[in-house]
Chains A and B, each alone.
Chain A
């Protein structure tokens, strides 16, 4: 965090420029949604732009570009927890509990055996 008034005064121009950049990126976000890139393409593009905007807010407005190690430490823990939460949907799709399993070879073999009699 800046310690003196003169240091802060120098950063005001940066805050205004980042504000302007965020507005431009908002227009780009809306315009990009009209592109026909397929669902996966549109989702990826929108999230990439949102991540860029979010990074600007975090780095400049929240002063994460020059913070103390304890703040970065708590952020690393946050990111790990967030990634675990985001991977929960993946775990649910991998979950096969309760899904009937048909073994094709066994079924085929049984049918062949039946035909043999």
Chain B
């Protein structure tokens, strides 16, 4: 049985089902990260001492740049499909994956440096919330990479069958990816600079 409203819009919502679905998913993600940001505020305001200069600011700033550029390449990948240029889509999508992988490699070195200084999550309240927030965000990056690799590999077959549906899927992937970028835009100043 064919899934309805994957390309055409529903008359009542004016949207394809996937579009509304991804936005509702992102709403639940806002709640997830919102709860953790709220926890951060409780811990920070309730603590008499809060460490500064514990994290590598240049590495954090480089990771911010990587995610911003990856957001640009992601939207260009979707735009390429809209312009029926599958070759450019592959190029931009692969660039997004590479940038995301570099982000994770940087994060690995950052974690190693932090742990090397004898600061596991159990060392302090700051370390606990730092590892929780950045770890959860890192898992989202990993999830995004898996989805993007799928659409570069086996999932790309859909382009030949129903290009509009494939373009919509890339749009939903992009919405998720921009959300992940948006979360980092707030995480970077909150954890690294303040």
By a beta-carbon cutoff of 8 Å, the part of chain A in contact with chain B is 1-2, 4-5, 8-9, 11-12, 15-16, 18-19, 22-23, 26, 29-30, 33, 39, 42-43, 46-47, 49-50, 53-54, 57-58, 61-62, 68-71, 74-75, 77-78, 81-82, 85-86, 88-89, 92-93
Q: Taking CB as reference atom, which chain B residue is nearest A16?
A: B72
Q: Smallest CB–CB gap between B73 and chain A, Å?
A: 9
Q: Is B69 an interface residue (CB 8 A)?
A: yes
Using Cβ atoms and an 8 Å threshold, which residues of chain A touch B128? none
Q: Smallest CB–CB gap between A55 and chain B, Å?
A: 9
B68 touches A50 (CB 8 A): no
Q: Smallest CB–CB gap between B17 and chain A, Å?
A: 11
Q: Is B31 an interface residue (CB 8 A)?
A: yes
Interface centre among A22, A47, A69 (most CB of B within 10 A): A22
Q: Smallest CB–CB gap between B187 and chain A, Å?
A: 9
Q: Taking CB as reference atom, which chain A residue is nearest B192?
A: A33
Indicate whether A15 sits within 8 Å of B79 (C-beta atoms), given known contacts A68-B15, A85-B34: yes
Q: Taking CB as reference atom, which chain A residue is nearest B12?
A: A70
Q: Smallest CB–CB gap between A3 and chain B, Å?
A: 9
Q: Smallest CB–CB gap between B180 and chain A, Å?
A: 10
Q: Is B47 an interface residue (CB 8 A)?
A: no
Indicate whether A61 sits within 8 Å of B174 (C-beta atoms), given known contacts A26-B64, A70-B15, A86-B34: yes
Q: Is B146 an interface residue (CB 8 A)?
A: no
Summarize B's interface: helix, strand, loop or mixed: helix
Q: Taking CB as reference atom, which chain A residue is nearest B177?
A: A61
B194 touches A71 (CB 8 A): no
A61 touches B75 (CB 8 A): yes
Using Cβ atoms and an 8 Å threshold, which residues of chain B touch A81? 27, 30-31, 34
Q: Smallest CB–CB gap between B162 and chain A, Å?
A: 17
Report which of B83, B178, B194 forms a contact with A62, defined as CB distance below 8 A.
Answer: B178
Bound-state CA distance A89–B44 (Å) is 10
Bound-state CA distance A54–B33 (Å) is 15
Indicate whether A57 sits within 8 Å of B61 (C-beta atoms), given known contacts A8-B83, A15-B79, A81-B30: no
